[in-house]
Amino acid sequence: MKIAEHSKLYITKGLSIFIGTIIETSKHNHNAIQITLSAYNDFTVEFDEISISTKSIIINSNCNHKLIGRKGKQIVISIENASNHSRAFHALLGENPYREINIDPKLIQTIESDAKENKNLSIVLEKIISHLNIEFNKVNKIDERIKKILNIIENVEEKKISVKKLAAQVALSESRIQHLFKIQIGMSIKKYLLWKRLVDGIHMITSGKDFTEAAYEAGFADSAHMSRTFKQMFGINLFDLFHNSRSVQAIVCKS
């Protein structure tokens, strides 16, 4: 992946916002819903079957894609599948891999300033949801048993826990909890745990830990394992992203 210098990555629980120029990524897919915006310049998204040039697009989770930004600035918003906000965008997308949207350039500028001012990043999503007239109160909520599973995973060290233990916590069979989890969250429990370990590792790197220390503490075999996982999910080389501080300034937000 190639990124222009002086980009910024804002990270909070379940959400990240990248602001900068992504020259090109490799083909990848990830658990997150992705919203990519540009106020003035078109960017290109290559899917398996089609290539789209646009200024605003929502990309469904687990959808193979490659982003080519070239010139100009992009805002890339990644929303974890377990959040209610992501379910609002899932309702808009349905089974479609992507949807082009019309976003006022003034709103895009507001989104950028909100992030830079370190405001609650969820406000950014609420502004987009309102702009797109998504009836958020009508979006299907997450099953309470899955909420409990997500809470357990959030609080377990290294995000390593067996499906058997999780199933016992909600009085369901292993097969039933795996089926329900995949329907609700869009991925297997095993892959979600890997996703959460990756998110934990990124948080550790942005808080000042070196790659090796962050990888071990997040539950990876080593930093190379964490970097490979990151590349598979984001199409980005983790070392390239964070090793050169001129490329990306990572900022962990409180909310």
pLDDT digit string (tens) for 140-166?
A: 678 899 999 999 998 998 788 999 999
Indicate which CATH number applies to the domain containing 199.
1.10.10.60
Q: Mean pLDDT check: name the lowest of 14-18, 39-43, 63-67, 149-153.
A: 14-18
- Is the residue at 236 inside a domain? no
Domain count, the chain: 2
Judgement on whether residues 67 and 122 belong to the same structural domain of the protein: yes
CA-atom Rg of the chain in angstroms: 18
Judgement on whether residues 121 and 213 belong to the same structural domain of the protein: no
Q: Where are the alpha helices (DSSP H) in the chain?
A: 84-93, 105-116, 122-131, 144-155, 163-169, 174-185, 189-206, 211-218, 223-234, 238-243
What's the whole-model pTM score?
A: 0.78
Judgement on whether residues 43 and 159 belong to the same structural domain of the protein: no
Judgement on whether residues 148 and 221 belong to the same structural domain of the protein: yes
Judgement on whether residues 117 and 158 belong to the same structural domain of the protein: no
Distance (Å, rounded) from C-alpha 118 to C-alpha 210? 24
Indicate which CATH number applies to the domain containing 55.
2.60.120.10
Q: Which domain holds residue 103?
A: 2-139+247-252
pLDDT at position 35, please?
A: 94
Of all residues in the chain, what percent carry a pLDDT higher than 90? Answer: 35
pLDDT digit string (tens) for 46-94?
A: 999 999 999 999 999 889 999 998 778 899 998 888 777 888 888 889 8
pLDDT at position 247, please?
A: 60
pLDDT at position 172, please?
A: 94
Judgement on whether residues 60 and 100 belong to the same structural domain of the protein: yes
